[in-house]
Amino acid sequence: MRIAIVVLAATLGTAWAQDIKMPPAFDKLAAKAEESVDVTLDSGMLQLGGKFLSDKDADEAKAKKLIGGLKGIYVRSFEFAKEGEYSAADVDALRSQLQPPVWSRVVGVTSKKGGEITEVYFKTSNGAQIGGLVVIDAEPKELTVVSISGAISPEDLADLGGQFGIPKVELPKSKGKEAK
Amino acid sequence: MSRLDDALREALRREEPPEGFAGRVMARIEARKERAGAWDGLMAAWRGPRLRWAGALAGAVLLIGTAAYQETQRAEGEQAKRQVMLALRITGAKLDLARARIQRVGYGLGDR
Amino acid sequence: MAAAAKAVTIGRAGFEEIVRERQSMVFSIAYHFLHDRAAAEEQAQEVFLQLYKSLGELESPEHLTRWLRRVTSNRCIDVCRRRKLMPRIGLDEVPEPSIPARATDPLLSRAIRRMVASLPEKWRALIVLKYQEEMETEEIARTLGMPAGTVKSQLSRALDFLREKASRVLGEIS
């Protein structure tokens, strides 16, 4: 029993400490994709990029504030010419890393009709901030994974949508209220 | 005093060098002075403009090196900045998409 | 006073006078060392060229003489070592005199010079400075930078060597 606790604690500790690793299969998907995006920004690159973000530009200023507490941003996005280029196993390889109690799935939308899956995971944190964020968007001809490591305040997260040139979609304040 | 001493003194008496020795020494001194003069002139020419050129060249190399380093840093920084903005745009877009789909199915992110 | 300044003060004629006054001393040390007049002149010229550059360091005529003896001796020792001249002239090459030698005999002098030229460099320097320049042990020691005791003992060994060889080749000479 004691051994099991120790092993569990060690596993949790390791999981807590680790960043999400993009599945190796993603490298093969890039070869199949018509278009792909690969953004890998570790803390050093974030710091360097932050130095070049202007305080005068509204979007850049917000981005600068947001990345201040981050350890890394990793984006993999693939757009395929036809459906079925990636498998559920490719997504599962990522999903398997996003296990409780370290990770919490806060959004999970699956459209069987359209074959779309959207999932948002938060990394739990001791403080008021979120310890990390993973977004999975799987569509028939598109797969996008965003992994943000590091502290993000809920305010920054709320601001993130609709920023950076993308029109913000107002969230409904209450259940049942639909946005236009 | 032994016979050997006498023989050594006799044998090792000072001898005059070949005729014109002093003249040849002086000629060599004059020749060296001329060469030294020419050399000094050459060195002066070398030291003056060449050193200035070397200094200017070193300064230019330093400036170019610094500028190249700064340019490399700037290019890397700009690239990192573009990637940050791209990553946040994609993240924002996907979060917006998630919100939109949540809205579509009838409940909001804030309610989860 | 700097060398160039002193040379200017002395002038070309003044320096040539110094050369003329000391040329036999310098040339003879080199000649008795090297046993080759051309090589001796070459080395003697080099010594005076060196003197021209070092004139500013010399304080007096006595200092000048000491300087010339020291520089000439050391230069000849170096030349001998470089050229390995020592074994070039062996005692076997010394011709046998047909009649008993006399001290003033030119043949004897030539034989003695050859024997001196066949000595090891340091012994040669001791013999040349003692018998050509008639220097005392202390003076030789200062010139060659050797302890006086060493000069004395080495000089004694050099003379014993010469005496033995001379008696073997030239007959009894002691």
Q: What is the pLDDT of residues A118-158, one digit of tens each?
A: 898 988 776 667 888 899 999 988 999 999 998 887 777 77
**Tens of pLDDT, residues C39-87:** 899 999 999 999 998 888 888 888 899 999 999 999 998 888 776 544 4
Query: What is the Cα–Cα distance from C8 to C55, expressed in whole angstroms?
Result: 10
pLDDT(A4) > 50: no
Q: Which helix (H) or strand (E) holds A73?
A: strand A70-79
Contact partners, residue B89, CB within 8 Å, separation at least 6: A164, A165, A166
Residue C121 confidence (pLDDT): 87
Domain residue limits, chain B:
17-111
Calculate the average pLDDT of chain A: 76
Q: Are residues C72 and C104 in the same domain?
A: no
Q: pLDDT tier at C103 (50, 70, 90 boundaries)?
A: very low
Tell me the mean pLDDT in the region B69-87: 84
Q: How far apart are CA A123 and CA A105, in angstroms?
A: 9
Q: Find the CB nearest A175 among B80, B99, B111.
A: B111
- Per-residue burial over C137-169, b if 16 or more Cβ lie within 10 Å, else e, is bebbbbbbebeeeebbebbeebbebbbebbeeb
> Are C101 and C79 within one domain?
no
Q: Is the pLDDT of residue B41 over 50?
A: yes
- Chain B residue with minimum CA distance to A73: B87
Question: Quick one: DSSP state of residue C116?
Answer: H
pLDDT of residue B29: 87
Q: In this complex, do B22 and C20 lie within 8 Å of one another by their Cβ atoms? A: yes
Q: 3-state DSSP call for residue C49?
A: helix
Q: Which residues contact A30 (CB under 8 A, 6 or more apart)?
A: A36, A38, A76, A78
- Whole-number pLDDT of residue C70: 93
Same domain for C36 and C23: yes
Average confidence (pLDDT) over B51-59: 73
Write the CB contacts of A109 (distance below 8 Å, at least 6 apart in sequence).
A116, A117, A118, A119, B98, B101, B102, B105
pLDDT confidence of residue C101: 45
Q: For residue B12, give every residue at least 6 positions away whose Cβ sits within 8 Å of its Cβ, in sequence order, or none.
A: C28, C32, C112, C113, C116, C127, C128, C131, C132
Q: What is the CATH number of the domain that holds C23?
A: 1.10.1740.10
Structural domain containing residue C106 = 90-174
Percent of chain C with pLDDT over 70: 77
CA distance C32 to C34: 6
Q: Return the pLDDT at A16.
A: 40
Alpha carbon of A48 to those of A42, A72, B89, C29: distances in Å?
A: 10, 12, 18, 79
- Cα dist from B13 to C25, C105, C130, whole Å: 9, 13, 11
pLDDT in tens, B9-25: 989 999 999 999 999 99
Instruction: Identify the residue whose tokens are 């010419």.
Output: A81
Range name among A55-64, C54-63, C64-73, C94-103 with the lowest pLDDT average: C94-103
Q: Does residue A178 have a pLDDT over 80?
A: no
Token pair recorded at residue B107: 């409940």
Same domain as C120, residue C173: yes
pLDDT over 90 at B53, yes or no: no
If you average pLDDT over residues B35-58, what whole number do you get? Answer: 67
pLDDT at residue A51 greater than cutoff 50: yes
Looking at the 3D structure of chain C, how many domains does it have? 2
DSSP class of C95: P
**What are chain C's partners, defined as 3 or more CB pairs within 8 angstroms?**
B
Confidence class for position B45, pLDDT limits 50, 70, 90? low
Residues with Cβ within 8 Å of A53's Cβ and at least 6 positions away in sequence, in order, are: A60, A61, A63, A64, A67, B81, B84
Task: Evaluate if residue B50 carries a pLDDT over 80.
Answer: no
Sign, CA dihedral C38-C42-C43-C48, equals positive
Do both C84 and C98 map to the same domain? no
Domain boundaries, chain A: 19-42+71-153
* pLDDT above 70 (res C142): yes
Helices then strands, each counted (H, E), chain A: 6, 6
The predicted model gives A33-53 an average pLDDT of 87
Cα dihedral across residues C67, C72, C73, C77: positive or negative: positive
Q: Does the pLDDT value for residue C92 go beyond 90?
A: no
- Residue C95 is predicted with a pLDDT of 43
Residue type, C157: R
C155: contact with B, CB 8 A cutoff = no
Cβ–Cβ contact B20 with C under 8 A:
no
User: Is B27's Cβ below 8 Å from some Cβ in C?
Assistant: no
Q: What is the pLDDT of residues A92-126, one digit of tens each?
A: 989 999 988 888 888 888 877 778 888 989 887 76
**Residue at a domain's end among C88, C111, C129:** C88
As a whole number of angstroms, the distance between CA A6 and CA A14 comes to: 12
- What is the distance, to the nearest Å, from the Cα of residue A154 to the centroid of all Cα atoms in its chain? 14
pLDDT digits (tens, 9 = 90+) for A77-86: 988 888 888 9
User: Measuring CA to CA, which residue among B19, B26, B27 is closest to residue C37?
Assistant: B19
* Residues C82 and C115 occupy one common structural domain: no
Nearest to B99 among A77, A116, A161 (CB): A161
**Contact, A87 vs A108, CB < 8 A?**
no
Same structural domain, C96 and C169: yes
Q: Of the ranges A39-53, A105-119, B17-31, C133-147, which one carries the lowest mean pLDDT score?
A: A105-119
Confidence of residue C97 (pLDDT cuts 50, 70, 90): very low
Residue A164 has its nearest CB partner, among B89, B97, B101, at B89
Question: What is the model's pLDDT at position C132?
Answer: 94
Peptide linkage before C147 cis (omega within 30 of 0): no
Question: Can you tell me which residue has the tokens 């030119």?
Answer: C106
Tell me the count of B-C CB pairs closer than 8 A. Answer: 99
In the sheet that holds A35-42, the strands lie side by side as A35-42, A70-79, A142-152, A130-139, A116-123, A103-111
- Which tokens in the block code for residue A83? 């459906």
Q: Is the pLDDT of residue A71 over 80?
A: yes
Could you tell me what percent of chain A has a pLDDT over 90?
Answer: 9
**pLDDT for position A1:** 41
Tokens describing residue B49: 């403009």
Both C173 and C106 in a single domain? yes
Residues of chain A found within 8 Å of residue B86, distances taken between Cβ atoms: 37, 39, 75
Give CA–CA dist B58/C112, Å, rounded. Answer: 66
Going by C-beta distance under 8 Å and a sequence separation of 6 or more, which residues neighbour residue B75? none
C97 and C53, same structural domain? Answer: no
B84 has pLDDT over 60:
yes
Mean predicted lDDT score pLDDT of chain C: 81
pLDDT of residue C125: 93
